Structure 1
Amino acid sequence: MALGKIEKLKIIAFKNADYSDAPSEQETFTAMLNPETYSLDYKVEYQDGQGQGTSSSQQRFSVKKPEEFAFELLLDSSGIIDENPRESIEDDITELRDLLLKYEGEIHEPKHFQVLWGSLLFKGRCTGLNITIKLFNPDGKPIRALCKVTFSGSVEDNLRTAEERNESPDMTHYRLIKSGDTLPMLCYKIYGSSNYYLQVAKVNKLSSFRNISPGDEILFPPIKKNTPVA
C-alpha cells in the first residue's frame, strides 16, 4: 500500500486582519519536522460582583480570553534531517523571528497568521518566540535550535460581532455604573428603548431610578420586544 505524502506544518503570514491577502503577497514558513505535540489553552475570566440589596456575591462573566496555541519547531543545519548541511542556523532563526515578530511599517504592527497542519487551522497573532540552542559546531556556531512559538487566537471583526451579540436584549447584562450613566440611557443602549428604566430599577431594588452611583453593579434582565412598559 502506497504511503501518502507527509504534510508539513505551515505558518502563513498576512498583512490584512481578514486574511484576504493575495497568494503572491503571503509569506510562508514550512516546518522542517512536524511538532511532536501542540497545546491549546482556553480561559474565561469572571468578576466578583454584588448587586444592591443583596448580601452575597457571585462571579459574573467578564470576558472570554483568546485561546492560546503553542508548539515547538526544530531548526537544524547539520544535514542529518534534510541532507542539506549548512554552516549554521543563524539565517533560519532570523527568518523565523522576522516573519513572526517584525514590525511592518505598512500596517504599523506585526502580521496576522494562519497555522495549517492536516485538519488544523488556527488564526491569530504571534505573542511569543522562545529559542533554545541545542547544538553547536566546533567553532561555536549554532547548528540546532528548538523554537517554542505561541499564538493568541483572533476572529475577524464581522465574525466576532455575530458570535458575541454583546448588546442583545434577550441576554442578561451586568453593567458597572460610570460617571454620567443614567438608567434610561443604559436601557436605550441595551434594549433599544429607554422606556424600561423603571423595570430595571425595580429588579435592582432601587428606591429611585436616579439612585445609582459610579461603581454600582446593575442587572439588566432579558426582555422581549413586546414586553409592556409599566
Structure 2
Amino acid sequence: MALVKMTLQAFTDGKFQSAAGPKHSVFLNPETISHNSENSYDTPHPPGSPGDTPRFNYASQGKLAFSLVLDGTRPIDGKTLEVSTEIKTLRSLVFLYHGAIHSPYYVQVSWGKLVFNGRATSFNVSYSLFRPDGSPVRAKVDLSFVSFIDAKTLALEADPQSADLTHHHVVQAGDTLPQLCYRIYGSAQYYIQVAERNNLVNFSHLTPGTRLRFPPLRA
C-alpha cells in the first residue's frame, strides 16, 4: 500500500477556496492525532428550578492536535531535511500573522479520510539535537487547531436543501473527494452523493482536469 502523507493547505479566506500557495506535505506523518468533537448546550436556570435542563445549541468539529517530528540526521525518501527551514515554513503556513488578510491563514489538514478546516491556536517547538554550530537537526512541533466554518456555510447547513450549495470544480492534482466536499459543504460526509451525481466509478483517485458538479445537500 502506497504511503499517504498528511498535507497542510493554507487559505486566505474562511470558505477555504483561495489557496495561499501549494499544499505542504509533512516530512513524517504524526504517530497520534487528537480530534475532539463538541456539542454545545445552553443551561438556563429558571427561578425555583430544581436543576438544569441542557438545551442543544450547536455541534462543531472541535479541536485537532498532533505532533510532527523533524529529523535531519539522515535522509528519508532520498531527502535530508533542513530542520530550521521546515520550522520556518510550517510557522508561516499555519501560525504567523499575514498583513494581506490581517490574520494568520486558514488551514486545511488532510490525511486519508481526515479533512479538518480550522485555525492554529498553538505552535510549540522542542529541540532535541544540534550541530556543533548550534543549528538544530532534530525537533518536534506540537500543533493545535480549532475548527472553523464561515457564517454563510453555517447558515446553509441549517437549510441543507439550499440551492446556493451548487458548485462546479475542476480537479487539481492532490484533490480528494472528501476534501472537496469539506471545502464546499463544510462536511466530508457527502462524498458518496457527489460521486453518484458525477457517475464516478473510482472516486478515490480523481483525474486532474475533470469537472465535477457539487449538488445541493440532501438531508
Normalised TM-score (structure 1): 0.61
Partner of 1:40: 35
Secondary structure class of the residue paired with 1:49: coil
Greater CA radius of gyration, 1 or 2? 1
Shift of 1:47: 4.9
Give the one of 116, 126, 134 matched to 1:132: 126
Give distance in 2, aligned partners of 1:92 and 1:119.
Answer: 25
What SS class does the counterpart of residue 17 from structure 2 fall into? coil
The two structures, once aligned, show a CA RMSD in angstroms of 2.3
Q: Where does residue 17 of structure 1 map in the other structure?
A: 14
Give CA-to-partner distance per residue, 1:70-116, whole Å, 9 cap, x none. Answer: 11111122234244446x52121111111111111111111111111
Give the whole-Å Cα distance in 2 for the aligned partners of 1:156 and 1:107.
15
* 1:120 corresponding residue in structure 2: 114
Query: Secondary structure, in 3 states, of the residue corresponding to 2:23?
Result: strand
How many percent of aligned residue pairs carry the same amino acid? 30
Aligned residue number for residue 215 of structure 2: none
Give the SS at the match of 1:159: helix
Pairwise mapping of residues 27-176 of structure 1 onto structure 2 (< 5 A)? 27-52=22-47, 54-61=48-55, 64=59, 67-85=62-80, 88-164=82-158
Deviation at residue 148 of structure 1 after TM alignment? 1.2
Shift of 1:134: 2.0
The question of whether the paired residues in 2 share the 8 Å contact of 1:46 and 1:59 is answered with: no
Whole-angstrom distance in 2 between the partners of 1:36 and 1:153: 21
User: Does the 8 A contact of 1:9 with 1:115 survive in 2?
Assistant: yes
Q: Report the counterpart of residue 5 of structure 1 in structure 2.
A: 2
Matched positions, count: 158
Name the amino acid aligned to 2:15. Answer: D
The one-letter amino acid of 2:126's match is T
Segment of structure 1 superposing worse, 28-37 or 62-71: 62-71
Could you tell me how far apart the structure 2 residues matched to 1:33 and 1:149 are? 14
SS in 1 for 2:99: coil
Q: 1:48 to 1:17 in 2, by over 3 A?
A: closer
Q: Secondary structure at the match of 1:18?
A: coil
- 2:119 and 2:77 mapped to 1: Cα distance? 29
Tell me the CA shift for residue 56 of structure 1. 1.6
